[in-house]
Amino acid sequence: MSLEIQIATGSSTPIYWQIVDQIGKAVESGAAQPGDQLPSVRALAERLVVNPNTVARAYNDLVRDGVLESQRGKGVFVAERRQVFSDAERRRRLEQAGDVFLHDVRMLGFTTAEIIDYLERRLSEAMPETPREVTHE
Binding status of residue 52 toward another protein by CB under 8 A: yes
40 DSSP 8-state letter: P
How many CB atoms neighbour CB 18 within 10 A? 20
The least distance separating another protein from the CB of residue 137, rounded to whole angstroms, comes to 23
Q: Does residue 37 interact with another protein by CB under 8 A?
A: no
Looking at beta carbons only, is 43 or 116 nearer to another protein?
43
Four-residue CA torsion sign, 97, 99, 100, 104: positive
Contacts (CB under 8 A) with another protein, residues 73-132: none
With respect to another protein, which residue has the nearer C-beta, 59 or 77? 59
Residue 37 per-residue DSSP state = B
Residues 76 and 53: their CA atoms lie apart, in Å, by: 15
10 Å Cβ neighbour count for 22? 17
Residue 34 in contact with residue 16, Cβ under 8 Å?
Answer: no
User: Residue from 20, 24, 38, 57 that binds another protein (CB under 8 A)?
Assistant: 57
Q: Return the number of the residue (58 or 79) whose C-beta is nearest another protein.
A: 58
Residue 26 or 44 with smaller CB distance to another protein: 44
Residues that bind another protein (CB under 8 A): 7, 9-16, 42, 45-46, 49-54, 57
